[in-house]
Structure 1
Amino acid sequence: MNDDTVLARIALAMRFSLFGVPVLVRPAFWMVAALLASPYLQAGEWPLVATWVAIVLVSVLVHELGHAWAMRALGRSPRIELWAMGGLTHWGEGPRISGWKRAVVSLAGPTAGFALALPIAIAARWGAFEPGSLAHTAVDQALLVNLFYGALNLLPILPLDGGHVMEVALTSIFGAQGPRLARYASIALAVIAALVAMTCSVPGLAFIALFAGLHSMRALGAPEGDGSIPARAPIDPAVERAIEDAWDAIRGGREDDAIAACDAILERTPDDEASAPLRARLLETIAWAHLEAGREREASGVARRMPARFRPSALLAARLLLAEGKHDEGMQALERAWQDTPGDLPGLVLAAAHVDARQPERAVVMLRSLRGARLSTNAHLTISAALFYAEHYEHALAVSELAWNRFHVATHAYNAACSCARLGRIAQGLDWLAIATNAGFDDVAKLETDDDLAPLRADPRWREVTSARSSPR
């Protein structure tokens, strides 16, 4: 791979902040937006194609900003992601949000879009635009996009905004059964919408409806909740730090230190209902420490000590199934936990399971998903390293390339060079090494002694690449 190819991919992935809200625009968003302008593409009307894509970008951003501002007003720290199917606004950290406040957040997106459509409609009605001109077409396009996108999102089908409002309403009426009823209703309505769309010769709308229906079908296998957006239960700051230190110890291979620290807290924690959440969290941490140390039987025993009303997390339960040799059942549970549990840990556990099962391609597919894109740069490093040391060099290269495009961290480019060297792709490896050094990788000792780079050091271009190092950033 040469530098131009990598830089071209980077150019398509945009990261910026809008009114204090982080925004990520994925390459698939541009592709789908351009495909929606296919009549203009076929006619070679490039100014109209560019205008259409810009209007779609602004309209979807305004819609998602409506959600983001509502979330921020409720104390959350949202971020926006634009992808093939439109936009997503992630809740971020903050207090628990439940009931009709969630419905307000869902309705804020279409409301923002309709608010933008109002001045556009006025311009379309009273603006002095010459029929057929670029300005006239742009106004018509902007009005169409904002009205259609807002109306589409109000359909009572999950995961559309109207579906979330329906879920809140059903939860307020039927309690814990509300989310499941909303999913069944979404599937039925999605099928009806798809049939109507096909009858009216609107295949794009039929595809969106079927996609939403499949989303609800998959969600039926997920654990039920109370329909709220959870927040972490209050905990003493000193205990919080101790638990975080225990997890650091687990990640550092000091599992017994983590167990000792958690046991010490357990000894002084009352065995009553008020302390049950803390005890459950400590036992969960101890169980993970035993698992990481290869002591599956001890981990299962700790999990059985959970207080009444508490069970191991979905992720831990899935990992215990794998430890018990129930591979198919464990992998299915792990896939569900990966979709439903935030943070890096689910991805790391699932990727490790794929590597252990000699299915490295599934680890790559997992990272390429929308959920995989939310993993941190360190998680990408860990997964690429696991693939590399298992000698799955092709898949390690794919992960490093993906991580570089997402984070632009020099270490990812360096790891890509190592994978290329192991694969015997000298020219490609030197290209990646040049990217790494230009991005600030300047560990001279590692460059000269890393055995993985030995095939590259034998190439005449080696000195040219390594002597062009820039100062670290």
Structure 2
Amino acid sequence: MSTDSSSPFSWHFNLGRIPVVVEPSFWLITAMFGMIGGRLDDWRFVVSWVAVCFVSILIHELGHALMAMSLGCDVAGIRLYAFGGLTYPDRMLSRWRDVAVTAAGPFAGFLFGGVMIAVNYFVPPQTPLARTIFTDLMFVNFGWGIINLLPVLPLDGGQILRGVLGPTRQRLTLWVGVIVAGAATSLFLFIRAFFAAFMFGRMAFDCWQALSVTHDVKPLPPVQTAEPEPEALTRGWQALRSGQETEAARLAHLALSSARPGAETNAARDLLAWVALAEGNPRAALSHLEKVQPPQDARPFSWAMAYEAAGLPDRALAPALAALEREPSEAVVALAVRLLVKARRLEEAERTARDFSWKSLARRDALLADIAVARGDFDAAAALFAATFESTGRAEEAYQAALNHARSAQLERAAEWLKRALDAGYDDLEAVGLEPAFAHVRSAPEIAARLGQRKP
């Protein structure tokens, strides 16, 4: 599994067997915060602030990594970017072990801060710079650590609360997040800490939005059967592929009720997870996967799909890359590329898409088009979406070709492809009407007439 960054200027090194990547954005954003803090009079104070953040955040991520390793995981890597970091275990852990791994990060920072207090006691700082470094160490390791433990997603405290409450109380986790983040926003506004107020306001909004799509997992009653049905698991997968989720769930529970502990039970739980995904309930899918024993026997692809569906792309990436190694398929590669794009690891995403032997080149080109959009290369994206449309005839691909031509100011070609999208059956006229890139294209008489004719 790779933690390669999309930037060629990233710093790569190893801590033991843990690969670490530090992206340029980490240095840039951290230095900006140091300068905002009134350190411009002496560049040494900015450099010392960046060094304090680097060491402290790296120790925080090492806390996650070492706890995961102590529980039987390997760590695919640590990545520092912007103003934080991510640790990538190579597999998912059970619910309570995941809580332990999450809590280990901030408590590693507290331990490091305690060591620095002891050093300060026995070797007091003698210069203004040394005293500033000590103050910054206390602020980052204790101040940020305490804030990070607030029960608000996606902070570590929110992750811990979600694990403690479990899948049957996910909405309660979000409500706590809304209330605590709202209170924190008000407090930071009162003390005029506007960046912190913006950050917690955004988290409160995200938790509020998540409430509209999150459902608590309700425990299913035990399945009562007079006698087991033969090949229930195989027939369950067939029913799921045919769109018969209720029948697939019935057969999965039948298979689970008669399965022997181990591989048979785990296979039934995997099917139940996919049934939950088909029903639009990713939290239930995660609940089923958490019950796989041992935890490393759960399919990485199932974990990745469940995490992505639950709106947790950062957590989905590691199992998606593991699935890419264990069971490569077009669906797995498409998922991995999609998540790499969200993580801005664009070179790795492109390499993954190009290296796979696709049966459908149109599917590959659609992924490469998404990567081009993420890079801002709208000309290349338009060409790739156009090629995909020629292969598939899907109206959505023609619309995307038009949109990216418009983004690159090729208005005539944008109008031509928008007409082709409408001819192919594209019917989301609201999207066309609201898209800023189409402002000039919509004013063309022929396009205006076409859009007017198709209004209900």
TM-score between the two structures when normalised by the length of structure 1:
0.52
Distance 2:354 2:25 in 1: 21
| CA distance 1:199–1:127, change in 2 (3 Å) | same
**Aligned partners of 1:149 and 1:376: how far apart in 2?**
36
Partner Cα separation in structure 1 for residue 138 and residue 18 of structure 2: 25
Native 8 Å contact 1:26 1:81 kept in 2: yes
2:342 counterpart of 1:369: yes
CA distance in 2, matches of 1:80, 1:130: 35
Residues 35-434 of structure 1 mapped to structure 2, 5 A cutoff: 35-39=32-36, 43=40, 45-78=42-75, 79-93=77-91, 96-99=93-96, 101-132=97-128, 134-171=129-166, 176-220=167-211, 221-222=213-214, 272=228, 276=232, 280=236, 287=241, 299-300=242-243, 306-308=248-250, 310=272, 312=274, 336=309, 339=312, 342-343=319-320, 368-370=341-343, 377-379=351-353, 396=372
Cα offset for 1:192? 0.8
Structure 1 residue 194 displacement after superposition: 0.8
**Distance of aligned partners of 1:337 and 1:142 in 2 relative to their CA distance in 1, 3 Å threshold:** closer
Given the alignment of the two structures, is residue 14 of structure 1 paired with residue 11 of structure 2, yes or no?
Answer: yes
Residue matched to 1:460: none
Return the offset for 1:195: 0.7
Task: Give the superposition deviation at 1:198.
Answer: 0.9
Partners of 2:151 and 2:161 within 8 A in 1:
yes
**Contact 1:68–1:89 (8 Å) recurs in 2:** yes
- Identity %, equivalent residues: 27
Name the counterpart of 1:291.
none
Q: Which amino acid in structure 1 is aligned with residue 98 of structure 2?
A: R
Contact kept in structure 1, 2:62 and 2:105, CA below 8 Å:
yes
Q: Are 1:23 and 2:20 an aligned pair?
A: yes
1:315 and 1:45, CA in 2 relative to 1: closer, same or farther beyond 3 A?
farther
Partner of 1:43, secondary structure, is coil
Per-residue CA deviation, residues 166-189 of structure 1 (Å, 9 max, x unaligned), is: 223333xxxx43222111111111
Alpha-carbon spacing, 1:92–1:390, altered in 2? closer, same or farther (3 Å): closer
Assess if the C-alpha contact under 8 Å between 2:103 and 2:156 holds in 1. yes
Aligned in 2, Cα 1:187/1:274: closer, same or farther, shift over 3 Å?
farther
Tell me how far apart the structure 2 counterparts of residues 365 and 42 of structure 1 sit (CA, whole Å): 40
Is contact 1:17–1:23 with CA below 8 Å preserved after alignment? Answer: yes
Residues 67-95 of structure 1: CA deviation (Å, up to 9, x unaligned): 1111112222233232334122234315x
- Structure 1: runs of 5 or more not aligned: 1-6, 228-270, 288-298, 319-332, 354-362, 402-422, 424-473
Residue 58 of structure 1 deviates from its aligned partner by 1.0
SS of the equivalent of 1:88 reads strand
Partner secondary structure for residue 37 of structure 1: helix
Give the deviation of 1:376 after TM superposition.
8.3
Q: CA deviation at 1:143?
A: 2.3
Q: Which amino acid aligns with 1:51?
A: S
Relative CO higher for 1 or 2, CA cutoff 8 Å, sep ≥ 6? 2
- Aligned with 1:129: secondary structure? coil
SS at match of 1:157: coil
Counterpart in the other structure of 2:431: none
In 1, Cα distance between the equivalents of 2:71 and 2:134? 34
- TM-score, structure 2 as length reference: 0.54
Query: Structure 2 regions of 5+ residues with no counterpart?
Result: 220-226, 254-271, 281-305, 378-404, 406-456
Contact 1:159 1:215 in 2 (8 A): no
Aligned-residue offset at 1:144: 1.9
Amino acid at match of 2:248: M
